[in-house]
Chain A
């Protein structure tokens, strides 16, 4: 059993970093393939024989049932090979009462006549070409019996119930503490439903060879999908070979899988022919998952000198009627600031909407949009600098559990950020700085996101050319997994980066949980390091036992690995020569990582601070980000370039959350108004201006054997709040209903008579 104590004590090649591979700005391993269009994404994989193409049909109502089905015209349409609705779809494993993220379970498609949300897939048409399948899909004639539906979250706040198995967390006596506080903040914020908008839609290419299924699909969790698909198809998971080598964005939306995977597999079996199915951009909006909207009430009570005495954050959110996903927007507040009296919790409203689920930094991304603005409001009320207010409420130990922090450098992030950004130039009174038609303001916010480690395995093989191959059932969803695994391998085995191959995204490789919750690099990388250490041991054993090796006789504990050469003092030979003589077919070692038994004794998070300068045109209500700096503490950084890209990507998402992103539900149809990327506005280059992310030189040796932590979700946490605070500093208006669009800003300005 591994333990934090052991991790802290043990040195290893990643910590020592003798060749300097760790932390370096290494270009993406698969980058040339992607930019030359030669990395085959799931839909582009060439199957062994000509494929058929499936097109999904979506329900046009929010709630009801399919009352009548007429597929004759579709079946008779040119090229159509198969038309399925719930009436004739193959039998599949039964849908469980509830899903969770880690327990494999069947996800049957077209399994009932019930429609639970607008855009639910209700039929599939497979034809010889995509065009014929599309034409056939238009001829599927379904009659729906529509039931009354509840789709507008704001109309149903009062129906919020405690999420199953949860209770509010209260420390001390919040109400009494709040009532007694001389300075108070009590406001409500709203964040909208958001869509993941991955560049690559969900897509699958499937074929069968006998009773063995091969599927190339676009997902984040290999083993979970393999097992769940097997249960859906009611076959052994040994007969499901699932591959997901290149994923064009996941962000939590591909944490599970959808009807493309199930129906492509079933149709390929039925037709004895490979089948490809992809979601359209419009289908991605409704037919996958989304981040649910929230209503967040934050109450802060403080002394006149800025000590928080009471803090409460209560979030109401929504999920689909069959789901139990809760957007835990209040959770991060339990770990961020000291306050003796604390109350946090969630309420869940069930609606006839598409499925709510995890999206990049679930919890923090929405939650910081309220608390981190409330802190800004409190600072203003106290006449105190927002950075200073946060520093005054920095807890010495975890504010709820009292556990020691593994490491916490939030204050350092804030101080270094303030200095680099020029925070001292901020005018505490809003509306003081003008640049042409823009009022200019500065804002800041803190960032926090949990740290996680899950069980994972990996294998390393060295071949007769001295090339190391890393194998792991891990995914790279654009984050840099391929690259950091290669760096770990190169550093651990002392070979040039060019002598490392990485094979991931394959269910036949040693299992890893996949990408999500910013646990990917720590989890996959720690298992890889262990495999590398085991391969070193195996190589050393062979070397000291081989009379033909200069290293013969040892001592094995002094063996070094450098530049493809193994050596003991001045005796050395090329690694390739040793392997060629002794293991011409290659030598493999396995490795694994498990969460430490004592990990729960520490409070372990990643931290950061955002600083933003915005311009607000008070005539038009337009807001433009001018410059933005994030300073982050996330343990040892494996790759400066890919880590920074994830952080800046998160920061950009935060700008979108503050200013443009969100989807609205049509009150009559239960559909989302924005169904493409011309309507769903993610930031473009012109929205961002100057942007930088700085990573503190940090090591968290309690996190895992490498002392690293994740960065994929940290960057978004707090970023939008910093924008909102900058808007206030620019123009003196608070809009607490995100995104802060010109219509809302104009209304707020006009309410002030401006």
Chain B
């Protein structure tokens, strides 16, 4: 781990001001991903701004019937919230499918969205990785790419976004509130937070350097049932091979792309009266494989219709 300086922010405005003024700074909240990456020297921040104690840890009812989730709400707290469990069960299910109990106790809502890929080539500093070291190549493209993306990859990167929570938020049509380094409050759809890798896989979001996520806003739940299904090699504490969040007629896929993958083509097919199987097939028409990750296409084709049917069943039961 490289030496770094550290400060504890007391308010969001101070945090972004400090970030703007300090080159090489990073925010740290739960630290469940950043500290691991720092130990491996994949992340080498010169300065850490600890935002964990900012007063952004509340879950508030929004006027439109939705929820406003402070960025520092822990994953455990969010998953256990009675309003979330009652009205956004897909979100609770997704959160508890991620990490371990210990990690969820530390991990925050904002930090979860900004966690980095678990691609083994990103983690092994002896390997080429355009995300870790731009221009060095992609070890996964012709390597052991079982966990790689089937949507939206590029010749520079086929890494996936590892969050479960973000997949549910995507299906729920969540938006993100931020504070820019200039102190400007901004908001955008969650689907516009993360980028596809393109030529610059090292740039993972549309956030400006030093911009702080302050909240995630959930609109009222869409009508219809919800479900989150995650397929993994072991029963707990394992990255997904593929996952799906269904909220009414809204569908998002996880572990298949550089970002939580809102399945717009599937949604359009459902809206047009297509069956769940047809809808998922429509989405998968845009999928591609790199060898060992091809099974994900089969997996999504098998899982997707079952999950949509399960959500509908949950909806009719409720």
Binding site for B on A (CB under 8 A): 58, 60, 118, 131, 134-135, 138, 282, 437, 619-622, 624, 659-660, 664, 666-669, 671, 673-676, 678-679, 681, 683-687, 739, 741-743, 746-747, 750
**Does any Cβ of A come within 8 Å of B64's Cβ?**
no
A647 to B106, CA, bound (A): 35
Q: Which parts of B2-54 form the interface with A (CB within 8 Å)?
A: 2-3, 40-41
A61 CB, nearest partner CB in chain B, Å:
9
20 extra A-B contacts, CB within 8 A, seeds A131-B3, A660-B234: A118-B126, A131-B1, A138-B41, A282-B40, A282-B124, A619-B303, A620-B302, A621-B299, A622-B231, A666-B139, A669-B139, A671-B124, A673-B120, A675-B123, A678-B237, A679-B118, A679-B123, A685-B236, A687-B235, A747-B295
Q: 1/0 per position for B110-149, CB-CB distance to A under 8 A? A: 0000000010100110110000000000010011101000
B259 CB, nearest partner CB in chain A, Å:
21
Q: Which parts of B157-199 form the interface with A (CB within 8 Å)?
A: none
Q: Which parts of B199-248 form the interface with A (CB within 8 Å)?
A: 229, 231-239, 241
A131 surroundings in chain B (CB, below 8 A):
1, 3
For B3, give the chain A residue with the smallest CB separation: A131
Q: 7 nearest interchain CB pairs?
A: A686-B235, A743-B295, A60-B126, A686-B236, A620-B231, A673-B144, A687-B235
Whether A669 and B126, one on each chain, are in contact in the complex, defined by CB atoms closer than 8 angstroms, is yes
Whether B127 and A669, one on each chain, are in contact in the complex, defined by CB atoms closer than 8 angstroms, is yes
Q: A620-B303, A666-B139 are in contact. Are A683 and B241 (CB under 8 A)?
A: no
A618 CB, nearest partner CB in chain B, Å:
9
Interface band, chain B: 20 to 34
Which of A134, A664, A669, A685 counts the most B-chain CB atoms under 10 A from its CB?
Answer: A669
A457 CB, nearest partner CB in chain B, Å:
44
A743 surroundings in chain B (CB, below 8 A):
146, 241, 295, 299
Q: A669-B126, A669-B127, A742-B241 are in contact. Are A624 and B120 (CB under 8 A)?
A: no
Whether B295 and A660, one on each chain, are in contact in the complex, defined by CB atoms closer than 8 angstroms, is no
A707 CB, nearest partner CB in chain B, Å:
39
B299 surroundings in chain A (CB, below 8 A):
620-621, 742-743, 746
For B232, give the chain A residue with the smallest CB separation: A622
For A663, give the chain B residue with the smallest CB separation: B144
A679 surroundings in chain B (CB, below 8 A):
118, 120, 123
**Does any Cβ of A come within 8 Å of B62's Cβ?**
no
A660 surroundings in chain B (CB, below 8 A):
233-234
**Does any Cβ of A come within 8 Å of B82's Cβ?**
no
**Does any Cβ of A come within 8 Å of B313's Cβ?**
no
Whether B234 and A687, one on each chain, are in contact in the complex, defined by CB atoms closer than 8 angstroms, is yes
A747 surroundings in chain B (CB, below 8 A):
295, 298
**Does any Cβ of A come within 8 Å of B306's Cβ?**
yes
A687 surroundings in chain B (CB, below 8 A):
234-236
Which of A660, A666, A750 counts the most B-chain CB atoms under 10 A from its CB?
Answer: A666
For A665, give the chain B residue with the smallest CB separation: B144
Whether A671 and B126, one on each chain, are in contact in the complex, defined by CB atoms closer than 8 angstroms, is yes
A669 surroundings in chain B (CB, below 8 A):
126-127, 139, 143
A624 surroundings in chain B (CB, below 8 A):
235
Whether A684 and B234, one on each chain, are in contact in the complex, defined by CB atoms closer than 8 angstroms, is yes
Whether B235 and A681, one on each chain, are in contact in the complex, defined by CB atoms closer than 8 angstroms, is no
B142 surroundings in chain A (CB, below 8 A):
667-668
A-B contact list, 11 entries, CB within 8 Å: A131-B1, A619-B306, A624-B235, A660-B233, A660-B234, A668-B139, A671-B127, A679-B123, A681-B238, A684-B236, A743-B146
Whether A681 and B233, one on each chain, are in contact in the complex, defined by CB atoms closer than 8 angstroms, is yes
B189 CB, nearest partner CB in chain A, Å:
30
A681 surroundings in chain B (CB, below 8 A):
233-234, 238
B13 CB, nearest partner CB in chain A, Å:
33
Q: 1/0 per position for B287-318, CB-CB distance to A under 8 A? A: 00000000100110011001000000000000
A240 CB, nearest partner CB in chain B, Å:
33
Whether A750 and B303, one on each chain, are in contact in the complex, defined by CB atoms closer than 8 angstroms, is no
B302 surroundings in chain A (CB, below 8 A):
619-620, 746
A675 surroundings in chain B (CB, below 8 A):
120, 123-124
A434 CB, nearest partner CB in chain B, Å:
14
A214 to B143, CA, bound (A): 45
A742 to B234, CA, bound (A): 10
A676 surroundings in chain B (CB, below 8 A):
123
A685 surroundings in chain B (CB, below 8 A):
236
A437 surroundings in chain B (CB, below 8 A):
306
A660 to B144, CA, bound (A): 16
B239 surroundings in chain A (CB, below 8 A):
678
For B235, give the chain A residue with the smallest CB separation: A686
Q: A666-B144, A750-B298 are in contact. Are A742 and B233 (CB under 8 A)?
A: yes
Whether A746 and B295, one on each chain, are in contact in the complex, defined by CB atoms closer than 8 angstroms, is yes
A439 to B143, CA, bound (A): 34
For A754, give the chain B residue with the smallest CB separation: B302
A748 CB, nearest partner CB in chain B, Å:
11
Q: Which among B143, B238, B303 is the interface contact of A668 at CB below 8 angstroms?
A: B143
A574 CB, nearest partner CB in chain B, Å:
51
Whether A741 and B127, one on each chain, are in contact in the complex, defined by CB atoms closer than 8 angstroms, is no
B144 surroundings in chain A (CB, below 8 A):
664, 666-667, 673
For B307, give the chain A residue with the smallest CB separation: A619
A677 CB, nearest partner CB in chain B, Å:
9
B231 surroundings in chain A (CB, below 8 A):
620-622, 742
Whether A666 and B241, one on each chain, are in contact in the complex, defined by CB atoms closer than 8 angstroms, is no
A624 to B299, CA, bound (A): 17
A664 to B295, CA, bound (A): 17
B143 surroundings in chain A (CB, below 8 A):
666-669, 673
Which of A621, A660, A739, A750 counts the most B-chain CB atoms under 10 A from its CB?
Answer: A621
A742 to B229, CA, bound (A): 14
Q: Which parts of B70-117 form the interface with A (CB within 8 Å)?
A: none
Whether A659 and B127, one on each chain, are in contact in the complex, defined by CB atoms closer than 8 angstroms, is no
A746 surroundings in chain B (CB, below 8 A):
295, 298-299, 302
For A656, give the chain B residue with the smallest CB separation: B234
A439 CB, nearest partner CB in chain B, Å:
14
B237 surroundings in chain A (CB, below 8 A):
678, 684
A747 to B239, CA, bound (A): 20
For A676, give the chain B residue with the smallest CB separation: B123
For B230, give the chain A residue with the smallest CB separation: A620
B126 surroundings in chain A (CB, below 8 A):
58, 60, 118, 669, 671
A58 surroundings in chain B (CB, below 8 A):
126
A496 to B237, CA, bound (A): 44
B200 CB, nearest partner CB in chain A, Å:
24
A138 surroundings in chain B (CB, below 8 A):
41
A483 CB, nearest partner CB in chain B, Å:
29
B3 surroundings in chain A (CB, below 8 A):
131, 135
A674 to B310, CA, bound (A): 34
A664 CB, nearest partner CB in chain B, Å:
5
B303 surroundings in chain A (CB, below 8 A):
619-620
